[in-house]
Amino acid sequence: MQSTIGKAFCLTATVLSLGLCTGAFADPVAHFDFITHAPDSDAWWNTVKNGIRQADQDFNVQTDYRNPPNGDIADMVQLVNQAAARNYDGVVLTIADYDLLKGAVTKLKAKNIPFITSNTGTEQQSADLGAIMHVGQPEYLAGKEAGLRAKAAGIKTFLCVNHYATNPLSFERCRGFGEAIGADTKASSLDVGTDPTGIEAKVSAYLRAHPDTQAVLTLGPTSADPTIRAVTKMGLAGKIWFATFDIDPDVAKAIKDGTIKFCTDQQPYLQGYIPIAMLAIMHKNHNTDVVAARTELEKDPKFMKRLESYGLKPVYEARNISSGPGFITPQNIEKVSALAGSYR
């Protein structure tokens, strides 16, 4: 994927013009903005970008992917303000911090710019902000579903390795898991930052100081990969109960060799593709009828073929689309691992 790096007003942000960078077309029918809270270092978002890029090609639109390079939520708010000033045809944004974003989205509404929320945030928060719809994974539910699997295995104590504690919703994953097994979530959560060496050291130190820890839960590849190294070096691989969110090649390998029990999958490709596809369809039809746009998308043979090829399963609700949770286990890892980092 080609990209352009630019400065947005006074705020430096990573900007990927995902539509025109492909060179597939020269005259897009609409120009959208996809704003996330993710730092440049988080490679998990590459799969989201692949979904955005494919939707751009399928619907002949251009989407700018913009994010604060260091993951600063306050900077993300400024990107939303800029989106309103630039009069995009539509915006997609993550609800990294509801309280900080609710003021910024009023500027989108004042300009009558339709927007969809994706990835983080709850469906209620999305509705309260005035978004057309939400595409994402209910975080508390995902954590709870993972925790119920742990409870069935007899787990009562755990460590939640949180690499993005700046996002309030990250704690919902930990809380859902902790409440499912009856553990003290606050005492079990560790803010580790994003530096791989630092994460490995912090996890190792915690497990040495708390040898009665039965399970480890990581919230994504950024924390999972260093934690895999930590438990392996400590001789705990396959012995400590280990689950994670989101997949990458290292997580896939760890599932295959028994280090990780399962991966909770929120299907990031869908979080990129569906919002842009919905905005494109509604722009073409000159309305914001979610049901009609979703019906049109479901009849699109290209979209349905990709769902089948990539093993993706969105859950359609009255207003929103849930992209997860699903579970990647030893039983389905062979198919999924071939797609990890690209479409899964």
Segment 196-201 shows an average pLDDT of 98
Segment 164-174 shows an average pLDDT of 89
Exposure string (b/e) for 79-106, b if CB count within 10 Å is 16 or more?
A: bbbbbbeeebbbbbbbbbbbeebeebbe
CA angle 308, 287, 343 (to 5 degrees): 25
pLDDT digits (tens, 9 = 90+) for 22-39: 444 568 999 999 999 999
Neighbouring residues of 303: CB distance < 8 A, sequence distance ≥ 6: 58, 273, 277, 297
Residue ranges of the alpha helices (H) in the chain? 45-59, 73-86, 98-110, 123-129, 139-152, 170-181, 185-188, 196-209, 221-233, 249-257, 268-285, 290-298, 301-310, 333-337
Segment 103-132 shows an average pLDDT of 96
Q: What is the CA radius of gyration of the chain?
A: 20
Cβ neighbour number for residue 307 with a 10 Å cutoff? 17
Dist. CA 200–CA 177, nearest whole Å? 22
Q: What is the pLDDT of residue 169?
A: 80
pLDDT digits (tens, 9 = 90+) for 214-270: 999 999 999 999 999 999 999 999 999 999 999 988 999 999 999 999 999 999 999
Q: How far is CA 70 from CA 26, 38, 82, 272, in A?
A: 32, 8, 18, 21
CA angle 289, 293, 297 (to 5 degrees): 170
Q: What's the N-to-C CA distance of the chain in angstroms?
A: 17
Q: What is the average pLDDT value for the chain, to the nearest integer?
A: 92
Phi, psi of 19 (to 5 degrees): -80, -60
Dist. CA 116–CA 93, nearest whole Å? 7
Neighbouring residues of 220: CB distance < 8 A, sequence distance ≥ 6: 42, 44, 163, 164, 244, 245, 246
pTM of the model: 0.81
Q: Which domains does the chain have, with CATH numbers?
A: 4-137+267-325 (3.40.50.2300), 139-265 (3.40.50.2300)
Q: Tokens 């950024």 appear where?
A: 222
Neighbouring residues of 213: CB distance < 8 A, sequence distance ≥ 6: 157, 158, 159, 206, 207, 240
CB 245 within 8 Å of CB 218? yes
Q: How confident is the model at residue 42 (pLDDT cuts 50, 70, 90)?
A: confident
